[in-house]
Structure 1
Amino acid sequence: MTSFWGHQDNPFPPDEPRRPRCPVCGEECEAIYLIGTEIIGCDMCYNPGDFPGEDVQEDNPWEDSRCLEDY
């Protein structure tokens, strides 16, 4: 449908932007947790009690290519 100003509405709106997914559980995530370079979970599936005494580091999933493999 064309509006009054002559702009046509897009009948096929763009898809929602993709978000990084945790390679462990598959959920969209805001943070991932690593031991060395191994991903052990995300903010949805990581339980600190499962890794006592380990040096667990938080990382940004947007910067890790393993979380963006579906792209």
Structure 2
Amino acid sequence: MRVSLFVPCFVDQLTPKVGLATAKVLKKLGHDVEFRASQTCCGQPSFNSGQWDVAREAAIRALTVFRSAE
């Protein structure tokens, strides 16, 4: 099975080992792990701070990047 792994920016910046460990576990389970280099922030930090228009744009961008994911 191919897995498109989404690693949110806060995980990437604060606890990058979590994303790496997730990929490692998935690979050990026999999955083909794909990390899309074009992924960026999903918009959660903007949403949490009340910047809903910025959050919406980021969320749409993230969804577009993963639109073709299995």
> Scaled by the length of structure 1, what TM-score is found?
0.30
Highest CA radius of gyration, 1 or 2? 1
How high is the TM-score relative to the length of structure 2? 0.31
The structure whose residues are more often strand, as a share, is: 1
Relative contact order, CA 8 A, sep 6+: which one is greater?
2
Query: Relative to total residues, which structure has the larger helix share, 1 or 2?
Result: 2
